[in-house]
């Protein structure tokens, strides 16, 4: 199928582009900046852009969702519109601008869908988040009230999904929602696992401040394989589908120990952990996806995924330091 993908310079987006291309699809990726060189100030993102350009059939520069150039592009005979891009500016902040994010995520959506459908398109895929209210599973009170939004960012993603579902239904298109938990792996932004690797490579003990939170960490290559299968299997008639792949469902302390074991076995590092005694719970204690990912795809190797993870950080001494 011919697929138009937004958000491809992100960590997960770059993996999605590769997985879709590997599955035999023709992937055209949009980039918001004028050229690859304009990503040089962010080495991690530049590396991801180069990876996408190496796998996609084409890249379109200076192209933002909903703008005239995008509307013209989306009408050029695509089978699937994969809208992975989203406004994530200061996404961890309690002051995250929900209204701005919703406006950017759905900019000129009716015109986008009209052009897409006029060009023969029938399938739209939107990326969701386990941190949206109503997605995944958790332990929030009161029971039966439904999971609340994890954060203002989660709220923006949920509202975006509602708008897309409404507009796709009106347009007679099939909407597939792909819900992401906590991916990790090569080319990730410098977050938890990058911190662990950086600290252990210096021979220091890595601290885990919130070991009691139960989260859903998933190898990014497994997540991307699920995404490619989901996109490739969507029906062409109007309707709605969802996939919510799940990885390692466990406490953050247990996950850190899992990472330590994998790294220790491959690099021989001590991988010392210091788990704090967690007494404060400002976030939901548990938020996880509900479909075991390894059962959704065949041929995935957990050992190979850990090999790739460890090799990436072993070969890039400054990768986790940015």
| Contact call for residues 218 and 293 (beta carbons, < 8 A) | yes
Q: CA-CA distance, 2 to 57, in Å (whole number)? A: 9
Residues 22, 306, 25: CA angle, nearest 5 degrees:
10
Q: Name the token pair of 110.
A: 């009716």
- State both tokens at 249: 């469902």
Low-confidence residues in the chain, pLDDT < 70: 140-146, 317-322
CA–CA distance, 32 with 9 (Å, rounded to integer)? 9
The vertex-118 CA angle with 112 and 123, nearest 5°, equals 70
User: What integer pLDDT is reported at residue 322 of this predicted model?
Assistant: 29
pLDDT attached to residue 86: 94
Whether the Cβ atoms of residue 238 and residue 174 lie closer than 8 Å to each other: yes
Cis peptide upstream of residue 152 (ω within 30 degrees of 0) = no
**The pLDDT of residue 122:** 98
Share of the chain above pLDDT 70, in %: 96
Residue 272 has a pLDDT of 98
Angle between helices 43-55 and 11-22 (to 10 degrees): 10
Q: Residue 65: exposed, middle, or buried by beta-carbon count in 10 A (0-12, 13-18, 19+)?
A: buried
């Amino acid at each position: 199928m011919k697929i138009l993908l937004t958000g491809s310079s992100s960590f997960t987006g770059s993996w999605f582009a590769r997985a879709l291309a590997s599955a035999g699809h023709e992937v055209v990726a949009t980039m918001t900046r004028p050229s690859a060189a304009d990503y040089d100030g962010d080495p991690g993102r530049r590396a991801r852009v180069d990876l996408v350009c190496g796998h996609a059939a084409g890249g379109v520069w200076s192209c933002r969702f909903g703008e005239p150039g995008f509307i013209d592009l989306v009408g050029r005979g695509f089978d699937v519109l994969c809208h992975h891009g989203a406004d994530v500016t200061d996404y961890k902040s309690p002051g995250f601008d929900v209204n701005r994010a919703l406006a950017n995520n759905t900019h000129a959506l009716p015109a986008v869908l009209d052009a897409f459908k006029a060009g023969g398109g029938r399938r739209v895929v939107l990326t969701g988040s386990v941190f949206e209210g109503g997605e995944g599973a958790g332990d929030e009170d009161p029971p039966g009230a439904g999971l609340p939004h994890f954060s203002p960012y989660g709220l923006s993603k949920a509202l975006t999904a509602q708008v897309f579902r409404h507009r796709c239904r009106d347009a007679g298109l099939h909407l597939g929602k792909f819900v992401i938990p906590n991916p990790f792996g090569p080319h990730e932004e410098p977050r938890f696992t990058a911190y662990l690797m950086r600290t252990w490579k210096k021979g220091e003990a890595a601290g885990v401040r919130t070991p009691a939170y139960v989260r859903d960490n998933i190898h990014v290559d497994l997540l991307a394989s699920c995404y490619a299968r989901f996109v490739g299997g969507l029906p062409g008639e109007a309707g709605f589908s969802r996939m919510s792949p799940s990885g390692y469902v466990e406490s953050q302390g247990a996950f850190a120990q899992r990472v330590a074991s994998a790294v220790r076995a491959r690099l021989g590092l001590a991988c010392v952990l210091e788990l704090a005694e967690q007494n404060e719970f400002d976030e939901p204690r548990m938020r996880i996806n509900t479909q075991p990912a390894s059962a959704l795809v065949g041929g995935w190797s957990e050992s190979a995924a850990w090999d790739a993870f460890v090799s990436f950080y072993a070969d890039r001494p400054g990768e986790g330091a940015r």
